[in-house]
Amino acid sequence: MLHLRLIVPTDATDEVVALLESTVGTAHLVVLPGAARSPAGDVVMCDVAREAGDELIGALRRLGIDESGAISVEHLDLTLSSHADKAEHEAPGDGADAVLWEELTEATHEESTFSITYVSFLALA
């Protein structure tokens, strides 16, 4: 399971909540109105089956949440909940095979930065 923590502009909260509620594989939806200070807005949290995560993150980005608020994703090592079990069962595909493309892109970018250390090692080689 993945845990999504979103900062959502107040005027977009209803649309985001509707998206989360209609996405197969989500559980544990929490809305904290006005809880975010910087950027200002509502905090919306939910758990999502890994295999449904990539599509959901893409939909949130299409709504502009990454620009007007924030999208944070955490991997959950353990979730004890019949709601989470149901969400994982209903989600299409297999969680072990699921790829979060945003995570892969970010990791690839961070690990492929041209640095002075890399150049030094090349010069020494």
CA angle 16, 81, 96 (to 5 degrees): 75
Q: What is the pTM of this model?
A: 0.75
The token pair that represents 99 in the structure block: 């790829």
Total domains in the fold of the chain: 1
CATH number of the domain that residue 53 is part of: 3.30.70
- Measured CA to CA in angstroms, residue 38 lies from 9, 42, 101 at distances of 11, 10, 27
106's enclosing H/E stretch is: helix 101-111
pLDDT of residue 59: 97
DSSP 11: G
Walk along the chain (125 residues) and give the pLDDT tens digit of each residue. 999 999 999 999 999 999 999 999 999 999 999 999 999 999 999 999 988 889 999 999 999 999 999 999 999 999 899 999 899 888 876 555 545 546 545 555 555 566 677 667 667 76
Predicted confidence at residue 9, as pLDDT, reads 98
Phi-psi region of 41 (alpha: psi -120 to 50; beta: other; left: phi over 0): left
Maximal CA-CA distance, the chain: 57
Print the domain residue range for 62. 2-124
